[in-house]
Amino acid sequence: MTKDGEVVEFYESLARPEDIIPVEKLRRLSENTEEIIVRRIRKAHELGYKVYLVIYPERTGFHEAYGTGMKNPDKFLEEMKNLSLKWARIAEENDVEMFSPVNELFLWVGEKKANRWHEEILPELKKVYNGYLAPRGLQFYYFDPFSERPFASKNTEFNFSGWDYITSDFYCIGIEKVPTEENILKCIIATINKSIEMRDKYDARGVFYGEMSHPAGTSSDVFDLFFRENYGKVDGWFLWSLNDYSNDCKKVAKDYFTRRHDISNTSLKDVEIFDPTDVASRIPEAKELVFREDFGGMGFESKNGTKGYKFEVQGTNYTVKVKFRIIDGGALIFFERNSDMYEIQIIEASRIAIYKSGQEGHFIIAEPRREIRPNRSYLLEISRNGNDFAIYLDGELVHAFSDPNPLKGSFDLTSYYKEPVDNSCVIYEEVAVLK
């Protein structure tokens, strides 16, 4: 997808800023995409390989931007449906063994909307393609850096009925602060257990992982741990090709592919899962209104991250309610901000990210995906009870956590401004504090 939102088929990744080419040239080169991909499929078959074909949407020059700043997710989903059906037909015509529609769709439009899209397109895919079908790019677990336990994403609610394989990526987002071998192992085991549970529930053919990497780096030790725990339990791995794997990593992968190994029976088989709802349930409802600001009914406008509305909240037991409307880009909310701070990014079309920054470093707490529409009012609630925090959007729990070293400071409401978002505007309509 170009910066202007145009979807163009292309036969190579344009992941980095230096890969960006003029749109006119991109369109011209894209005319050869089908011919080039079909040639590669046939060459792989000639060499004796099976082929797995995946549609991989990407923002030109900003691989990890996904749906950031995207204005019309429904139009994007319709385009992805048409492309998926087109390439499913091509896969059928060229005897491709396995096919996946849109990789990591939930990162573009949110988990719920992506799950519905997959349910709707599956019957259409089966009309034109007879090989194996699998969704692609799901992530079952993230990692809570405070309790050092995995917690489930909305992708664990994915309906795999009718799909041939259970699939998940493995990244363990949130482990950057505490990337010990034991914590990595917790994420691996949680993902394996959930994958096998869903395989049995949906009577799928098997399990495979679409990508495998790690926020703290993909060393040969992490590779060996990952393969050791998965060996004999899953049916395949597809390693993220843009990682700069060392020769040692490649040797580990080759060893597990070519040589028989024992099947692991780790002591962390029944790893404990963190449940954010347990934290949220400990925070009592705040009912007494102590502060309200509606900005004279006109709202407070923040553009391009340059102007914020600041206020203080006394004590550590409260609920702050913020009603806002994104015109462009996204909202950026700092809370309990001093030299250290918590930060919430809410960005169209699907990104919500919660961070902590300060003496412990800058690290992600959670990155759930929800549909975020421009020109629509949302109600954000931040509730606190001592060490416990819960964050809600329109009454739905986004995330909750318990910080053993909680912060205390001010609130600052501003706008998110970072490439590829080059124009950001948020209207804060109302702020209220309850205790």
Evaluate whether the domain defined by 276-434 bears CATH number 3.40.50.720.
no
Strands 425-434 and 317-328: antiparallel
Percent with pLDDT over 90 in the chain? 71
Q: Count other C-beta atoms under 10 Å from residue 214's C-beta.
A: 21
Residue 361 pLDDT > 70: yes
Average pLDDT over the chain reads 92
**Residue 420, preceding bond cis, omega within 30 degrees?**
yes
Please tell me which residue, 167 or 65, carries the higher pLDDT value: 167
CB-based contact 41:53 (threshold 8 Å): yes
In the chain, where the domains are located? 17-258, 276-434
pLDDT at 216 exceeding the cut of 60? no
Chosen CATH of 17-258 out of 3.30.1280.10, 1.10.3720.10, 3.20.20.80, 3.20.20.70? 3.20.20.80
Helix (H, G, I), strand (E, B), or coil: what is residue 187?
helix
Mean pLDDT of 408-432: 90
pLDDT of residue 389: 99
Q: How far apart are CA 328 and CA 250, in angstroms?
A: 44
What distance in Å separates the CA atoms of residue 399 and residue 169, rounded to the nearest whole number?
21
CA distance 167 to 200: 13
Which residue has better confidence, 233 or 68? 233
Note the pLDDT of residue 27: 92
Write b or e for each residue in 391-404: b if 16 or more Cβ atoms lie within 10 A of its Cβ, otherwise e. Answer: bbbeeebbbbbbbe
Whole-model pTM? 0.92
Residue 176 has pLDDT above 70, yes or no: yes
Q: Say if CB 228 and CB 188 are below 8 A apart.
A: no
Q: Which amino acid is at 40?
A: R
Mean pLDDT of 342-353: 93
Percent of the chain past pLDDT 70, that is, above it, reads 96
Residue 81 is inside which H or E element, if any?
helix 73-93
CA–CA dist 150, 43 (Å, integer)? 41
